[in-house]
Amino acid sequence: MKQPIGVIDSGVGGLTVARELMRQLPKETFIYLGDTKRCPYGPRSEEEVRAFTWQMVNYLLKKDIKMLVIACNTATAYTLEELQETLHIPVIGVIEPGARAAIKFSQNRRIGVIGTEGTIESEAYPNALVSIDQKIRVNSLACPPFVPMVEEGTLSGPQAEKIVAETLKPLKDMNHIDTLILGCTHYPIIKDLIQQEMGTHIQVISSGEETAREASLILAYHKALEVDEAQPQHEFYTTGDIEKFRLVANNWFDEPVRVLKFVELEHVPSSAY
């Protein structure tokens, strides 16, 4: 029996990472859990995000996962180190892979970061970028409207364009960056709108590809890559509306996604986090 890889997110955004993981690791089985009922995580306190993340992690640990991918920037910022120190399986987030990709593409070392309030306030991206290259200059902008519009399926049209234009105006006015990190895994779903608003001269970076590459390298190092040629049977779970989740998922994947069920996450004792 294939041992699966767990992927968690605050909602549907992590599907952008899951799709890239499935593309680069086609033999692996993935179990995805999106906490759509309590999305977005960005405005929530660090304590809440940590509690919710641990609830998702404990649910997936019962399914004997061999690796955990935190496909949520806010959860990565607040819980990655703790999970890596606590769990006995490899745990990777999306922030460091995204930072590395941005540095690779930037020509003038001026990088923009957009994300949820929590991710921006944590300064996780500036810290990750400067730890690699101290000459990097970072302009960050919280974009609270983006996650709700993605979760609601407002992905195109005049209303979506207006929201994106108004939200990105402060960053666009700075006019110095040549690279923009989508510091939330929901944002690649509206990447075309963001690219259109920022202009073609801006390199827009999402962390999915680099995160998948890192997962592959870590599995190879641990000799845990799947060799079974049998078609993997992925599992998708949500804590919220199944039909909404399925609608966004089917728009993002090349084939219909089978959402197994609504999940009611158990309370986690405070001693667990």
* pTM greater than 0.85 (yes/no): yes
**Residue where a domain stops, chosen among 152, 185, 207:** 207
When divided into structural domains, the chain yields a total of 2
Q: Which of 7, 70, 72, 143 is catalytic?
A: 72
Write down the pLDDT at residue 175: 66
Write down the pLDDT at residue 266: 60
Q: Is the same domain home to 167 and 199?
A: yes
Q: Which residues contact 235 (CB under 8 A, 6 or more apart)?
A: 4, 29, 30, 31, 32, 260
* Whether the Cβ atoms of residue 263 and residue 238 lie closer than 8 Å to each other: yes
Residue 113 corresponds to which amino acid? V
Q: Mean of the pLDDT values across residues 230-238?
A: 91
Residue 125: closest CA among 189, 18, 205: 205
Give pLDDT tens digits for 155-191. Answer: 899 999 999 999 999 998 776 899 999 999 999 999 9
The annotated binding site for substrate is made up of: 9-10, 41-42, 73-74, 185-186
**Residue where a domain stops, chosen among 207, 236, 253:** 207
Q: Is the same domain home to 264 and 194?
A: no
Q: Is the same domain home to 144 and 219?
A: no
Structure tokens at 165: 């234009």
Query: How many angstroms separate the CA atoms of 87 and 85, rounded?
Result: 6
Write down the pLDDT at residue 271: 30
**Residue 118 belongs to what domain range?**
95-207
Q: Is the same domain home to 122 and 86?
A: no
Q: Is the same domain home to 202 and 108?
A: yes
Query: How many angstroms separate the CA atoms of 38 and 243, rounded?
Result: 16
For the domain that residue 82 is a member of, what is the CATH number?
3.40.50.1860
Q: Which residue has the tokens 């910022």?
A: 77
Q: Which of 142, 184, 249, 265 is catalytic?
A: 184
Residue 143 a catalytic site member: no
Q: Identify the band that residue 272 occupies on the pLDDT scale cut at 50, 70 and 90.
A: very low
**Residue where a domain stops, chosen among 155, 172, 207:** 207
Q: Is the same domain home to 77 and 111?
A: no
pLDDT at 269 over 60: no
Q: Is the same domain home to 144 and 20?
A: no
Query: How many angstroms separate the CA atoms of 58 and 197, rounded?
Result: 40
The annotated binding site is made up of: 9-10, 41-42, 73-74, 185-186
Q: Is the same domain home to 199 and 221?
A: no
Query: How many angstroms separate the CA atoms of 63 and 163, rounded?
Result: 39
pLDDT at 260 over 90: no
Q: Is the same domain home to 116 and 147?
A: yes
Q: Is the same domain home to 70 and 137?
A: no
Mean pLDDT of all residues belonging to the chain: 91
Q: Is the same domain home to 16 and 67?
A: yes
Residue 72 a catalytic site member: yes
Share above pLDDT 90 across residues of the chain, in percent, rounded to a whole number: 77
pLDDT at 268 over 50: no
More confident residue, 243 or 33: 33
Q: Mean of the pLDDT values across residues 7-36?
A: 94
